[in-house]
């Protein structure tokens, strides 16, 4: 993608370690977590935030008291009041949406320097009073006389204590009533993915993530989270805490399926974790980035969004990758590394089969030949969401960041960041190496 002949690039990027929900960032909110990531990015790049054209923040579940959490993050990160900010939502791809929206805005000539950030604090997803309870409080508030108040109070029922759980309802597709894990089960059955395959895949994800952490591969993209306050205060985090160093296939094999008992394939162990995290990227043009003294990480070659069957939302990456490859004029064989979000091990394995299937390509993608092999040795080289966690709003930006760094780390020309999206969509971004 270019703007006036100038390539659109990821000028710089940074992410916080991803934490399992309820652990390190349990006391955070999206506004603070996102701001701390953005602040660090400004400090490292020396960019004056006043030069930003706009701030785009992807977040699936903004705190109810920060409806436009993007603006909150911008102001808290020291972006001047004059710079506008918005929050974008496309479920699990919200962070990627921030990146592609910035790229589109640059291409359209609206600006040339954007902060694209993804953030999610799933720890903070609330329990909500159910409808009966809400109506009860309404009656109580409306009651004027003592008698009316007493009458309203007497209408209290124990069932009103049963809360609605935002995270479960948020992860359930309202159009078909399927919770995300069940869409993974549908793919496992359709593509014949066994429990054993899924557990092996998950174990490998942990192993790769451990290597990436220990070899300092992640140090390229990660800033430790060290909250202010006395030493040893809860909430400091040096690396992604979901990586299990001693994960074995046997241990995973003992877990019970979570969504479809007793024969399902998806367990807590071979699915992505519920997590908190944030990732920030500066999106600009190549010329502008160099002017600001930055060495861009990668150029955005193409991106694509696509829709598919909500009950098979896990196949989203296949559709969107096909589109993005076509736009880029590339084939899978040109791609040196793929970051394909690991919602469920079974879902990744189903995608792999669909990528390689001629039948699928003909029926679903309108292509004569199969899309191409999604080689295990090139896919999620540094582990994926099964080990690192999946803070829904942040993941899209994290995938772009990791895929951008992988160009140099693996010494390759192109990388692909793609993910499936609840509700039946896929997103894909193809990144291109910039020679210095």
**Interface with other proteins (CB under 8 A), residue from 76, 107, 164, 189:** 189
Nearer Cβ to other proteins (160/255): 255
Catalytic residue, from 351, 390, 400, 405: name it: 390
CB of 260 to other proteins, least distance (A): 7
CB 172 within 8 A of CB 182: no
One DSSP character per residue, 337-385 reads EEEE--SBHHHHHHHHHHHH-HHHIIIII--SS------TTTBSTT--H
Stretch 191-220 residues interacting with other proteins (CB under 8 A): 192
Choice among 37, 92, 272, 351 that is catalytic: 92
Binding mask 215-254 for other proteins (x = CB under 8 A): ----------------------------------------
Q: Choose which of 65, 246, 250, 263 interacts with other proteins (CB under 8 A).
A: 263
Q: Which stretch binds other proteins (CB under 8 A): 138-146, 185-193, 210-218, 389-397?
A: 185-193
By C-beta, is 175 or 194 nearer to other proteins?
A: 194
Nearer to other proteins among residue 120 and residue 185 (C-beta): 185
Nearest to 391 by CA among 123, 178, 63: 123
Instruction: Report which of 390, 167, 186 is spatially closest to residue 271, judged by C-alpha positions.
Output: 390
> Which residues does 398 contact at the CB level (< 8 Å), separation at least 6?
15, 18, 95, 118, 277, 279, 388
294-296-299 Cα angle (round to 5): 155
Helix (H) or strand (E) run with residue 318 in it: helix 316-328
92 is catalytic: yes
Residue span 155-174 as binding mask against other proteins, x where in contact by CB under 8 A, dash where not = --------------------
Binds other proteins by CB under 8 A, chosen from 75, 149, 249, 260 = 260
Q: Please answer whether residues 57 and 117 qualify as being in contact, where contact means their C-beta atoms are separated by less than 8 angstroms.
A: yes
Confirm or reject binding of residue 177 to other proteins (CB under 8 A).
Answer: no
Site for other proteins in 363-422 (CB under 8 A): none
Q: E-strand spans in 255-296? A: 275-285
The radius of gyration of the chain from alpha carbons, rounded to an integer in Å, stands at: 22
Q: At 186, phi and psi to the nearest 5?
A: -60, -45
Q: Which class for 310: exposed (0-12), middle (13-18), buried (19 or more C-beta within 10 A)?
A: middle
Give me the least distance between CB of 190 and other proteins, in Å please. 8
Q: Which is nearer to other proteins, 23 or 179 (CB)?
A: 179
Is 107 or 189 the residue whose CB approaches other proteins more closely?
189
- Binding range to other proteins, per CB under 8 A, among 38-46, 184-192, 237-245, 363-371: 184-192
Which residues are annotated as catalytic? Answer: 92, 390, 420
Chain residues in the site for other proteins (CB under 8 A): 185, 189, 192, 260, 263
């Amino acid at each position: 993608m270019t703007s006036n002949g100038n390539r659109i690039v990821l000028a710089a990027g940074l992410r916080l370690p991803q934490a399992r929900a309820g652990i390190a960032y349990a006391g955070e909110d999206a506004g603070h977590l996102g701001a701390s990531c953005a602040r660090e990015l400004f400090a490292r790049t020396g960019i004056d935030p006043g030069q930003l054209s706009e701030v785009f923040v992807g977040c699936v579940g903004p705190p109810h008291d920060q409806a436009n959490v993007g603006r909150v993050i911008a102001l808290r990160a020291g972006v001047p009041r004059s710079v506008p900010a918005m929050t974008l939502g496309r479920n699990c791809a919200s962070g990627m949406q921030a990146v592609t929206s910035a790229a589109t805005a640059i291409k359209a000539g609206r600006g040339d320097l954007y902060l694209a950030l993804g953030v999610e604090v799933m720890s903070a997803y609330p329990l909500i009073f159910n409808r009966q309870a809400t109506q009860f409080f309404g009656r109580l508030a409306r009651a004027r006389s003592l008698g009316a108040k007493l009458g309203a109070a007497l209408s209290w029922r124990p069932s009103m204590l049963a809360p609605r759980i935002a995270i479960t309802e948020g992860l359930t597709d309202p159009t078909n009533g399927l919770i995300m894990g069940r869409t993974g089960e549908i793919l496992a059955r359709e593509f014949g993915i066994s429990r054993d395959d899924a557990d092996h895949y998950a174990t490998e994800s942990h192993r790769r993530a451990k290597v990436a952490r220990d070899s300092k591969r992640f140090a390229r993209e990660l800033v430790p989270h060290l909250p202010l306050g006395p030493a040893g205060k809860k909430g400091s985090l040096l690396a992604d805490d979901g990586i299990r160093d001693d994960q074995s296939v046997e241990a995973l094999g003992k877990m019970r399926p979570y969504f479809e008992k007793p024969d399902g394939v998806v367990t807590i162990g071979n699915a992505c974790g519920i997590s908190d995290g944030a990732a920030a990227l500066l999106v600009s043009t190549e010329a502008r980035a160099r002017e600001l003294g930055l060495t861009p990480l990668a150029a955005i070659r193409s991106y694509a969004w696509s829709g598919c069957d909500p009950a098979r939302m896990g196949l989203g990456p296949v559709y969107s990758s096909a589109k993005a490859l076509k736009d880029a004029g590339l084939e899978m064989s040109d791609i040196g590394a793929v970051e394909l979000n690991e919602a469920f091990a079974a879902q990744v394995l189903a995608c792999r089969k669909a990528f390689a299937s001629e039948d699928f390509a003909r029926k679903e993608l309108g292509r004569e030949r199969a899309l191409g092999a999604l080689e295990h040795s090139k896919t999620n080289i540094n582990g994926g969401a099964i080990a690192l966690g999946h803070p829904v709003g942040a993941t899209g930006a994290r995938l772009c960041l990791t895929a951008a760094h992988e160009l140099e780390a693996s010494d390759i020309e192109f990388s692909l960041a793609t993910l499936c999206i609840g509700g039946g969509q896929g997103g894909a971004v193809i990144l291109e190496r910039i020679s210095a």
